[in-house]
Amino acid sequence: MSPPALSALILLGALVLFVSERVRHDLVAFLALIACLATGLVAPADAFTGFADPAVMAVAAVLVIGRAIELSGAAAIVASRIIPARVGFTVRLASLLLVGAMLSAFMNNIAALVITMPIAAEIARSSKRSPAATLMPLAFATILGGMTTLIGTPANLILSSVRETRLGSPFGFFTMMPVGVAVTIMGLIYLGFVGWRLLPGRRSDAANGKPPWRVYELVVSGDALDAAELRARLRRAGGRVLAAFRDLGKLNAAEAFQANDRILVLSRQNQWKVAQAAGLGADVAIDHVPDAVTVRVAVAHGSPLIGFGYDEVRTRSRQQLQVVAVGPRVARERRQLVDMRISAGDQLYIRGPQAELGAFSAGARVLEIDRHDPVPTARGRAAAILAIFTAAIACIVGLGLPPALALTGAAVLIAALRLLPPEEIYRSIDWSVIVLLAAMIPVGQSFEVSGAAAIAAQWLGHALAGMPLFTVLAALCTVTLLLSIFLNNVATAIIMGPLAIDAANLLHVSPDAALLAVLIGASSDFLTPIGHQNNLLVMGPGGYRFSDYARMGAPLVVIVVVCAAATLAALYG
């Protein structure tokens, strides 16, 4: 088999694995790299060159700096003060979307969502609307904002690296700003004034005056009970039996209950009220702290809680907070709580003093859904972090310092001055993204070196020959956008970057225009919840269905493609 065919076959296999969601994306990237090594498409000496790529270091540094800004509380204070409180829902939502987009231009998209999501929930609650009206528009806004600067997303840095390799120099820090800002403004106008109205008119439990569903365990504390009798008691108390356990085993539905059996219950009421009404024992003792509240949170990607049991919340909060109930994933899996491990997107009900909850939410990267506490702000630390970050950007823009060097220097200085807690430095880096980047870079280069990219570019060039520049750029953006539905946007950028340059040369258009069309397309993940982590993160709290994303995202995709193609055609025509 020829090298181009082998390279295309390996990428097709990686695409299938990416779409299946059965294998971690970073592992898929390594499997593709191993396949390239086995077939001779990548030389052994080049297998780990991706880890030395400046874009990888720049991404890691941006994640560290963004985490430092997030934990300082500065961005949260700015966000809460910019958004007016005494205006209508539409104006407040539009202001929130603008803030989310501005934050994501200079920090990780997830961090921008972490900071602004509690405000989105508060806007929905105070306007007596479902969180669905604010959360998906906010997720899309934070994705749009990432298109406007070099450090907005890892894909931007990858395409800059591709440009440096193929054309001799990288993108400037604000090279993508004209097209990125144009697309973002049009997208925000749509999201703030039209898009949210296209979402289904389901009212949330809170808007209907109903508490949300929660899952917890109760304990049989007395004599043996008939299964039917106990289920009837729980129904009268407002609960439903999901499963029952004795020691480490699961009970049959008709088996009688004995003392110390544990019952997994689904209810809208807290466990203390249900336990008292049903004559059972609550697994968690109620506290009597005067200002204690229960908060529903969603676990964000990159949270240090991921992979641990629910007791990790108590440990990390110095025994001040505890998980008293959990969300819908446990209802689906019907396993004992002690066997569960926290995953990204999980919903937790955390109870404890109000003062502790705000600080814990920021450090543990959990998003408060039902209540908003401002993140504590250390003004001196925040000012120092922002000054260092601003100086790094000034060095990139004014002195021409390579972004990887300037940003890594800023991250090192933040760490050296202890402006970020030491335990957060490595924890702030999403290592799965770093591994994905480093493994896919040689795979993407093999696609180019083998000649597969040139063949694909010839096909694309033949199809677009004689077309106006607007049509060519719209087609490149659309192809990239469709590919990003199935691939991580980083992998999409690695594959489409060289192909876009080859196609631009064949069609005699500006390579920069083609690369920027790819940049916009790689970040336009608006059609599915799996296209971007932020989309997936709001799915549970917003109560969205899979089809809701296309309902609001399809018009946004059209706006993005048309606006990007028109802007780039005007700039490079």
> For the ranges 100-104, 154-158, 349-353, 367-371, which has the lowest average pLDDT?
367-371
Asked if the model's pLDDT at residue 97 lies above 90, the reply is yes
User: What CA–CA distances, in Å, run from 404 to 170, 175, 177, 410, 414?
Assistant: 11, 16, 19, 10, 15
User: What mean pLDDT, rounded, does the chain reach?
Assistant: 85
Band of pLDDT at residue 318, cut at 50, 70 and 90: confident
What per-residue confidence (pLDDT) applies to 210?
67
Q: Which amino acid is at 433?
A: V
* CB contact at 8 A, 144 and 188: yes
Alpha carbon distance 330, 309 (integer Å): 13
Alpha carbon distance 265, 251 (integer Å): 14
What per-residue confidence (pLDDT) applies to 441?
85
Alpha carbon distance 129, 201 (integer Å): 9
Whole-model pTM: value is 0.74
What six digits make up the tokens of 252? 């049959």
How big is the CA angle at 462 (ends 459 and 464), to the nearest 5 degrees? Answer: 110
Alpha carbon distance 524, 106 (integer Å): 18
Residue 533 main-chain phi, psi, to 5 deg: -60, -35
Band of pLDDT at residue 145, cut at 50, 70 and 90: very high
Average pLDDT value for residue range 329-343 = 88
What per-residue confidence (pLDDT) applies to 26?
83
What are 246-263's pLDDT values in tens digits?
A: 877 888 867 788 888 888
Domains belonging to the chain, first-starting first, are 3-203+425-572 (no CATH), 214-282 (3.30.70), 292-368 (3.30.70.1450)
Residue 443 main-chain phi, psi, to 5 deg: -65, -45
Residue of 144, 142, 149 whose CA lies nearest to 113: 142
Average pLDDT value for residue range 152-174 = 90
Contacts 24+ apart (CB under 8 A), 239-242: 239/265, 239/266, 239/267, 239/269, 239/274, 239/278, 240/265, 240/266, 240/267, 241/265, 242/215, 242/266, 242/331, 242/334
What are 195-214's pLDDT values in tens digits?
A: 998 887 645 554 455 677 88
What are 353-393's pLDDT values in tens digits?
A: 877 787 787 778 887 776 544 455 667 888 899 899 999 99
Average pLDDT value for residue range 458-479 = 90
Residue 247 main-chain phi, psi, to 5 deg: 55, -120
DSSP symbols for 233-301: HHHHHTEEEEEEEETTEEPPTTSPB-TT-EEEEEESS-HHHHHHHHT-EESSPPP--TTEEEEEEEEPT
CA 506 to chain centre: 37
Residue with the two structure tokens 């999501």: 117
Which DSSP helix (H) or strand (E) runs through 537? Answer: helix 533-542
β-strands 322-326, 281-282 pairing = unpaired
- pLDDT above 90 covers what percent of the chain? 29
User: What CA–CA distances, in Å, run from 475 to 11, 184, 471, 514?
Assistant: 21, 19, 6, 10
* CB contact at 8 A, 347 and 369: yes
Query: Could you tell me which residues come within 8 angstroms of residue 435 by beta carbon, excluding any fewer than 6 positions away?
Result: 26, 29, 30
Average pLDDT value for residue range 325-352 = 88
Asked if the model's pLDDT at residue 187 lies above 90, the reply is yes
* CB contact at 8 A, 204 and 131: yes
Average pLDDT value for residue range 171-188 = 95
What are 55-77's pLDDT values in tens digits?
A: 888 888 888 888 888 777 777 67
What are 401-439's pLDDT values in tens digits?
A: 888 899 999 999 999 998 888 878 887 887 877 888 888
Asked if the model's pLDDT at residue 51 lies above 90, the reply is no
SS (H, E, C) 359-398: HHHHHHCEEECCCCCCCCCCHHHHHHHHHHHHHHHHHHHH
Average pLDDT value for residue range 220-232 = 79
Give the single-character DSSP code of 323: E
